[in-house]
């Protein structure tokens, strides 16, 4: 039987690139996000290119009721998940602690932390029948090192790191592998969202060095998902060659 991957944040960037990668390898896909039009377009592309079986679920990960209702609404044929890719997330703003927007803090914590928790709890029961269940969380280099003006985004990704470790311990007896992937700079919509549509500021984030492509991260996700069942990569940090840490770049 074909394996099924459940991807949050499949409408853009790393989630979308992962959907393409896993579709090409014959996986069944449950693709989720808030932008229904994007999910439909992606799903049509994957059906045309790879004859993929795709289910689209539209929900906001911050809303526990929406998450639970969307997952409960799935037909029985979709209620078996092998891989959960917790990828949906965002940064909002880049200001010092005393100036940053508290609303932005709420949104980052509600999305990157609560959202990941809600989706994981709702999907876990669907992983029980899998022969090789795995949860892959997308953290960030910002979850390994705090940088100036990164405050609560960094905190949310440190939380993803801690939650991953907790999941690995508590789900060990269920045979679920738990991995966190921490990317450095990846050129996606991420910076446009962070800088609230200011495309000039967003593109400045990638000037002078070659950032990762979303597909580079999708390749790493595919690698950790494809290992033999007895092998688990606990943590993988993937960086652009020209980025040594959150704040140290070799810009030309
Ligand atoms: P994008 O902005 O391109 O994609 C983010 C995805 O998350 C979108 O599909 C978006 O879907 C989804 N999302 C955001 N908020 C919500 C929400 N409330 N409910 C449901 N879905 C939501 O960014 P990336 O692909 O770069 O980011 C993916 C992950 O990678 C994030 O967790 C990010 O923190 C992390 N990351 C990114 C890095 C980078 O430099 N780009 C580096 C390290 C980690 P929609 O808007 O349709 O709901
Ligand atoms: C995104 C990487 O360094 O912009 O998680 O916070 S960074």
Taking alpha carbons only, the member of 23, 26, 7 closest to residue 81 is 7
The minimum-distance atom of ligand 2 relative to the CA of 157 is 5
Class of domain 4-238: alpha beta
The minimum-distance atom of ligand 1 relative to the CA of 8 is 21
Q: Which residue has the tokens 């990762």?
A: 212
Q: Which residue has the tokens 């989706």?
A: 119
Instruction: Decide if 141 contacts 161 (C-beta within 8 A).
Output: no
Looking at the CA of 188, which ligand is closest? 1
What is the pLDDT at residue 218?
99
- Angstrom CA distances, 61 to 18, 67, 88, stand at 18, 6, 8
Distance of alpha carbon 34 from the chain centroid: 14
Label residue 136 left, alpha or beta by phi (over 0 means left) and psi (-120 to 50 means alpha): beta
Band of residue 57 on the pLDDT scale cut at 50, 70, 90: very high
Q: What is this structure's pTM? A: 0.99
Ligand 1 centroid from CA 32, angstroms: 11
Pocket test for ligand 1, best of 6, 7, 8, 13 (most atoms within 8 A of CB): 13
- Cβ 92 under 6 angstroms from ligand 1: no
- Is pLDDT above 90 for 138? yes
What is the pLDDT at residue 21?
99
The predicted model gives 118-131 an average pLDDT of 98
State the number of CA atoms in the 13 A half-sphere of 203 facing the CB: 2
Residue ranges of the domains in the chain? 4-238
Instruction: Please report how the helices 64-72 and 116-123 are oriented relative to each other, as an axis angle in degrees rounded to 10.
Output: 30
What is the pLDDT at residue 222?
99
Instruction: Decide if 140 contacts 186 (C-beta within 8 A).
Output: no
Taking alpha carbons only, the member of 183, 166, 174 closest to residue 237 is 183
- Is pLDDT above 90 for 154? yes
- What percent of the chain is predicted at pLDDT more than 70? 100
CA separation for the pair 180, 158 (Å, rounded): 11
CA separation for the pair 252, 238 (Å, rounded): 21
Looking at the CA of 66, which ligand is closest? 1
Band of residue 137 on the pLDDT scale cut at 50, 70, 90: very high
- Is pLDDT above 90 for 176? yes
- Cβ 150 under 6 angstroms from ligand 2: yes
B/e letters for 99-124, b = 16+ CB within 10 Å, e = fewer, are ebeeebbebbbbbbbbbbbbbbebbb
CA separation for the pair 252, 248 (Å, rounded): 13
- Cβ 43 under 6 angstroms from ligand 1: no
Q: Which residues are catalytic?
A: 153
Residue 168's CB: how many other CB atoms inside 10 A? 18
Residue 209's CB: how many other CB atoms inside 10 A? 14
Distance of alpha carbon 70 from the chain centroid: 18
What is the pLDDT at residue 221?
99
Distance of alpha carbon 39 from the chain centroid: 15
Ligand 2 centroid from CA 89, angstroms: 11
The predicted model gives 215-225 an average pLDDT of 99
The minimum-distance atom of ligand 2 relative to the CA of 153 is 6
Average pLDDT, the chain: 98
CA separation for the pair 101, 96 (Å, rounded): 10
Residue nearest atom 5 in ligand 2 by C-alpha distance? 140
For 19-38, the pLDDT digits (tens) are 999 999 999 999 999 999 99
Residue 138 β-bridge partners: 181
The predicted model gives 56-85 an average pLDDT of 98
- Is pLDDT above 90 for 79? yes
Instruction: Decide if 88 contacts 32 (C-beta within 8 A).
Output: yes
- Is pLDDT above 90 for 1? no
Beta strand 54-58 pairing with 83-86: unpaired
């Amino acid at each position: 039987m074909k394996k099924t991957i459940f991807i949050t944040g499949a409408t853009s960037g790393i989630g979308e690139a992962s959907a393409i990668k896993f579709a090409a390898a014959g996986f069944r896909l449950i693709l989720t996000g808030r932008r229904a039009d994007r999910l439909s377009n992606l799903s049509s592309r994957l059906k045309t290119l790879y004859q993929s079986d795709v289910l689209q679920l539209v929900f906001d990960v911050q809303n526990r009721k929406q998450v639970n209702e969307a997952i409960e609404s799935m037909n029985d044929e979709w209620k078996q998940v092998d891989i959960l890719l917790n990828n949906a997330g965002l940064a909002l703003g880049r200001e010092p602690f005393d100036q940053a927007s508290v609303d932005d803090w709420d949104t980052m914590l509600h999305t990157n932390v609560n959202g990941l928790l809600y989706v994981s709890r709702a999907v876990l029961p669907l992983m029980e029948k899998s022969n090789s269940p795995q949860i892959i969380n997308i953290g960030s280099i910002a979850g390994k090192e705090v940088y100036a003006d990164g405050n609560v985004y960094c905190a949310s990704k440190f939380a993803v790191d801690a939650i991953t470790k907790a999941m690995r311990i508590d789900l060990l007896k269920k045979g679920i592998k738990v991995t966190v992937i921490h990317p450095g700079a990846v050129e996606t919509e991420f910076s446009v969202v962070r800088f609230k549509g200011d495309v000039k500021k967003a593109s400045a984030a990638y000037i002078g060095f070659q950032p990762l492509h979303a597909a580079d991260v999708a390749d790493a996700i595919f690698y950790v998902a494809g290992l033999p069942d007895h092998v688990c990569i606990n943590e993988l940090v993937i960086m652009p060659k020209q980025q040594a840490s959150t704040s140290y770049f070799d810009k030309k």
